Amino acid sequence: MTSTEQGRRKYDELADRYEEIFPYVAEVGKLLVEHASPPSGARLLDVGAGRGAVARAALSLGCTVTAVDASQGMVERLACDFPDIEARQMDAGALAFPDASFDVVAAGFVIQVLPDPDVALAEAHRVLVPGGTIALSLEKQSVGRLRWLYELAAEYFGTPVPSDNDEDNGAVSSAQLDALLQAADFTNLATIPVEMPVSLANPPALWDWLTPRGLAEAVNALPAEQAESFRNRFLTQAETMQSNDGIALDFRATLHKAQKPCGQPASI
């Protein structure tokens, strides 16, 4: 399996507000499709399609789009929002399509949440035509100017302060993804970085940004006195951040493109 029941439930719950919580997803989806450069009429499979960031961009270029997601809630919203695409609930590691069904397979911010990314890449390879393109976006772990928040969370919740090195945090790095693509027999790798800072107006806006990401739930689980202490210290340090060049969250990604070799059979 390449997705989990817990993960599916999480994305079912986020389906109605996914792109509001993660506003950079739509822009990176557009950049990923541009990086893939599909010709008009290309058959594109969007794996882990979410609310359709990649599908939307591919449709605008004249692609024929099939979108799959492990979350039924996401699939229902996709079908409603994009009647021109075929939307189906499906696991990334068990694609119910014949060999050589697509010219492009794309996955936006999916590979890093899969417990078995190699299985998903093998499936992508199988359903691509020889010479077909795979395009993936990978979120980069970045502490950046929010190190004070990670240190505050470590003090109150005992969580480790992450490193700015993805591999130190157990996350998939850009180099590791390229290695996985090569191991799956993809060639002609091309990787580019993307920087998408997110600016927030004030400390309450930062709190609201973090609330659906688990902050409110964690704080509410503290004893009342500690919860109040955490909120006060959070707002104080966020105000300091705002006075020092504003509240801007460092968001980074890499876009990866590769090809299934021409003349190769659909399955390896």
Q: How confident is the model at residue 267 (pLDDT cuts 50, 70, 90)?
A: very low
Q: Where are the chain's structural domains? A: 5-141+163-197+250-259, 203-243
Question: For all residues of the chain together, what is the average pLDDT?
Answer: 87
The label of the residue with tokens 């966020």 reads 238
Which is more confident, 135 or 19?
135
**Phi, psi for residue 131 in degrees, rounded to 5:** 85, -5
Count other C-beta atoms under 10 Å from residue 82's C-beta. 19
Least confidently predicted of 116-130, 160-174, 186-200: 160-174
CATH superfamily of the domain spanning 5-141+163-197+250-259: Vaccinia Virus protein VP39 (3.40.50.150)
Specify the pLDDT at position 62: 97
Q: By the 8 A CB rule, do 111 and 120 touch?
A: yes
Q: At 206, which helix (H) or strand (E)?
A: helix 203-210
Which is more confident, 167 or 263?
263
Alpha carbon distance 164, 64 (integer Å): 39
- Residue-wise pLDDT tens digits, 170-187: 568 899 999 999 999 999
pLDDT surpassing 70 at residue 89: yes
DSSP code, position 42: -
Alpha carbon distance 36, 106 (integer Å): 8
- Residue-wise pLDDT tens digits, 54-72: 999 999 999 999 999 998 8
pLDDT surpassing 90 at residue 230: yes
Q: Is the pTM of this model over 0.85?
A: no
Task: Write out the E strands in 208-251.
Answer: 247-249
Specify the pLDDT at position 141: 63
Q: What is the CA radius of gyration of the chain?
A: 20
Helix, coil or strand: residue 127: helix
Alpha carbon distance 181, 38 (integer Å): 19
The label of the residue with tokens 């050589």 reads 100
224-230: list long-range contacts, CB under 8 Å, 24+ apart.
226/156, 230/152, 230/156
- Residue-wise pLDDT tens digits, 114-148: 989 999 999 999 999 999 999 999 987 667 788 89
Alpha carbon distance 204, 161 (integer Å): 23
Helix, coil or strand: residue 77: helix
Q: By the 8 A CB rule, do 112 and 120 touch?
A: no
Query: If we measure between CA atoms, which residue out of 89, 92, 88 comes closest to residue 121?
Result: 92
